[in-house]
């Protein structure tokens, strides 16, 4: 695995004009359009990157994009690898490990989720301040590679406190109200039953989704700092649980995209 990470990073560095990117960004459902705002972009299709998992979903144009946001050098992933697609956890988190190998110390994650906090509305954006891993596994199971990180990583600050307050500052400055809360990561691909939403709420989560937790765990293991935002695309609030479809999730996420993009842009500017 270490050889694969090194080989892939070397390939990417030979194809993209990488200097010292400040952050890696994983654009989830609801932030794909952000890719169009990257200045001086150069991109690689995932299909052309050695050792990158290949998308199982037809018409899913996964791309790794290098460029600048307000002059800040970044690398963005348009499209991520979800556990429910059948990838192993090693594959799901592989790009994060490659980013670290490329010298990136900060990771920004975005996703869409179902809101269980009764004060949330569809279209709200939540700063993820902690998570609960409800995936049936963990990307760090098995042999530990000490070159990547410790056997027993500390998870006391999965989302950097300083980045949470920076995100809050960005919201305030832009006049965009941001929620804050705990994200529960589940395998999917089913959305939750009413009883499952209730259960996940009771154990302490404000939102639930099918990504982000594996990438966060891999990043913390690597010693990276992480910030994350989630678009609330449907509600799993007791008594308010309604039918939900992938199309509705995508539509709600797309509607919130401009807000999410402004916050992310300002965040990167302040980070620099
Ligand atoms: N549950 C799980 N994943 C999701 C949801 C949800 O309600 N909404 C968007 N992704």
- Ligand 1 test: best mutation among 82, 85, 110, 114, most atoms within 8 Å of CB? 114
- Ligand 1 test: best mutation among 80, 184, 188, 209, most atoms within 8 Å of CB? 209
Please tell me the pTM assigned to this model.
Answer: 0.95
For residues 39-62, give the mean pLDDT.
83
Mean pLDDT lowest for which of 20-34, 58-72, 208-222?
A: 58-72
For residues 179-191, give the mean pLDDT.
97
User: What integer pLDDT is reported at residue 4 of this predicted model?
Assistant: 97
Q: Is the pLDDT of residue 53 over 80?
A: yes
User: What integer pLDDT is reported at residue 241 of this predicted model?
Assistant: 77
Residue 23, ligand 1, Cβ within 6 A? no
Cβ partners under 8 Å of residue 169, min gap 6:
270
For residues 29-49, give the mean pLDDT.
90
How far, in Å, from the CA of 89 to the mean position of ligand 1? Answer: 19
- 8 Å CB contact between 259 and 176: yes
For residues 214-221, give the mean pLDDT.
98
Q: How many Cβ atoms are within 10 Å of 40's Cβ, its own excluded?
A: 10
> pLDDT class for 189, splitting at 50, 70, 90?
very high
> pLDDT class for 33, splitting at 50, 70, 90?
confident
User: What integer pLDDT is reported at residue 174 of this predicted model?
Assistant: 97
Ligand 1 atom nearest residue 235's Cα: 7
How far, in Å, from the CA of 27 to the mean position of ligand 1? Answer: 16
For residues 20-39, give the mean pLDDT.
90
Q: What mean pLDDT value characterizes the chain?
A: 94
Residue ranges of domains in the chain, CATH in brackets:
2-271 (3.40.50.1580)
Q: Is the pLDDT of residue 253 over 70?
A: yes
Q: Is the pLDDT of residue 57 over 90?
A: no
User: What integer pLDDT is reported at residue 32 of this predicted model?
Assistant: 81
Q: Is the pLDDT of residue 60 over 70?
A: no
How far, in Å, from the CA of 9 to the mean position of ligand 1? Answer: 32
- 8 Å CB contact between 215 and 26: yes
How far, in Å, from the CA of 113 to the mean position of ligand 1? Answer: 4
Q: Is the pLDDT of residue 269 over 90?
A: yes
Model pLDDT for residues 99-112, shown as the tens digit of each residue: 999 999 999 999 99
Give nearest CA residue, ligand 1 atom 7.
114
> pLDDT class for 56, splitting at 50, 70, 90?
low
DSSP letters, 30-61, are: T-GGGGGG-EEEEEEEGGGSTTPPPP-STT--
Residue 192, ligand 1, Cβ within 6 A? yes
How far, in Å, from the CA of 191 to the mean position of ligand 1? Answer: 6
Beta bridge partners of 39: 68
Mean pLDDT lowest for which of 14-18, 153-157, 248-252?
A: 248-252
Residue 110, ligand 1, Cβ within 6 A? no
Residue 233, ligand 1, Cβ within 6 A? yes
> pLDDT class for 54, splitting at 50, 70, 90?
confident
User: What integer pLDDT is reported at residue 40 of this predicted model?
Assistant: 96
Tokens of 218: 């891999």
Residue 114, ligand 1, Cβ within 6 A? yes
For residues 143-150, give the mean pLDDT.
96
Q: How far apart are CA 269 and CA 39, in angstroms?
A: 14
How far, in Å, from the CA of 199 to the mean position of ligand 1? Answer: 15
- Could you tell me the CA-to-CA distances from 271 to 108, 158, 162, 164, 166 in Å, in that order? 11, 18, 10, 12, 8
Q: How far apart are CA 61 and CA 56, in angstroms?
A: 11
For residues 138-164, give the mean pLDDT.
97
Cβ partners under 8 Å of residue 88, min gap 6:
none
């Amino acid at each position: 695995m270490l050889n694969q990470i090194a080989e892939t990073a070397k390939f990417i560095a030979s194809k993209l004009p990488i200097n010292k990117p400040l952050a890696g960004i994983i654009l989830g459902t609801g932030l794909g359009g952000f890719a169009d705002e990257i200045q001086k972009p150069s991109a690689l299709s995932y299909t052309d990157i050695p050792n990158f998992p290949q998308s199982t979903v037809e018409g899913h144009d996964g791309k790794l994009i290098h460029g600048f946001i307000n002059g800040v050098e970044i690398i963005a992933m348009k499209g991520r690898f979800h556990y429910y697609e059948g990838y192993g956890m090693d594959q799901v988190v592989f790009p994060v490990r490659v980013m670290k190998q490329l010298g990136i110390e900060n990771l920004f994650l975005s996703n869409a989720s179902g809101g269980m906090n009764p004060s949330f509305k569809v279209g709200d954006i939540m700063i993820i301040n902690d998570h609960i891993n409800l995936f049936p596994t963990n990307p760090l199971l098995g042999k530990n590679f000490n070159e990547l990180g410790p056997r027993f990583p500390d998870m006391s600050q999965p989302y950097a406190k300083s980045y949470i307050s920076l995100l809050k500052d960005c919201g305030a400055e832009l006049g965009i109200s941001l929620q804050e809360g705990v994200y529960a990561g589940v395998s999917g691909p089913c959305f939750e039953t009413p009883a499952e939403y209730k259960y996940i709420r009771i154990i302490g989560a404000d939102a639930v989704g099918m990504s982000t937790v594996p990438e966060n765990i891999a990043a913390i293991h690597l010693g990276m700092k992480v910030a994350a935002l989630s678009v609330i695309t449907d509600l799993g609030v007791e008594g308010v649980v309604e039918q939900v479809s992938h199309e509705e999730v995508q539509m709600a996420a797309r509607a919130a995209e401009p807000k999410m993009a402004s916050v992310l842009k300002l965040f990167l500017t302040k980070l620099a």
